[in-house]
Structure 1
Amino acid sequence: MSHDHEHQLPTLQAPVKALDPHGVQVVGLGTALFVIGTLICWWQLPALEGIGRGWWLSSAAVGTGIGLLALVVLLILRRRRLR
């Protein structure tokens, strides 16, 4: 006897908790990397401008600012959820 469709086993989700449900660690790490990048670009600014890459400093600074803002928002949200 042939079957029109094969029998498929149900997909089960393992009961594993998220490593960082609030996202604070990930955003904190990314912000720290942007801070390091900003400092390196600032230190090497004459060399960067010499090769036409002086804009990297402003890009890294903007990334740092966005990361800090996101970190503040996430910390506030985490505090509210834990209450």
Structure 2
Amino acid sequence: MSHDHEPHLPTLQAPVKALDPHGVQIVGLGTIVFAIGALACWWQLPALVAIDKGWWLSTAAVGTGIGILALAVLLILRRRRLR
């Protein structure tokens, strides 16, 4: 039995550009969210310590720091690619 039609390709991707090919916007947003979380944890630190969740402040602070470092690297890489 022969088929005279083109094969069906169910995994064909539409040619759509990425919204943020450098990742600066999403990393920036994540960094802002972590910074807001760190401020909220700092403000509520006595309540967090009372329920043994004081480590949340450290987690939010580390997330903010990593986000700042990642933003710096991504901005440098984006600047190099645009040259």
Q: With structure 1 as the length reference, what TM-score do the two structures score?
A: 0.88
Q: Where do 1:37-56 residues align within 5 Å?
A: 37-56=37-56
- 1:17 is aligned to 17
Tell me how far apart the structure 2 counterparts of residues 14 and 59 of structure 1 sit (CA, whole Å): 39
Equivalences, count: 80
Which amino acid is the alignment partner of residue 69 of structure 2?
A: L
Q: Name the aligned partner's letter for residue 81 of structure 1.
A: R
Cα deviations across residues 28-50 of structure 1 (Å, max 9, x unaligned)?
Answer: 00000000000000000000000
CA distance in 2, matches of 1:30, 1:18: 18
Letter in 1 for 2:31: T
Distance in 1 of aligned mates of 2:33 and 2:13: 33
List structure 1 segments (4+ residues) > 2 angstroms apart after TM superposition: 10-13
Flag structure 1 segments of 5+ consecutive residues without an equivalent. none
How big is each residue's C-alpha offset from its partner over 1:34-78, in whole Å with a ceiling of 9 and x where there is no partner?
A: 000000000000000000000000000000000000000000000
How big is the alpha-carbon RMSD for the aligned residues of Structure 1 and Structure 2? Answer: 1.7
The TM-score, its normalising length taken from structure 2, stands at: 0.88
What pairs up with 1:26-37 in 2 under 5 angstroms? 26-37=26-37
Counting aligned pairs with the same residue, the percent is 79
2:74 equivalent in structure 1: 74
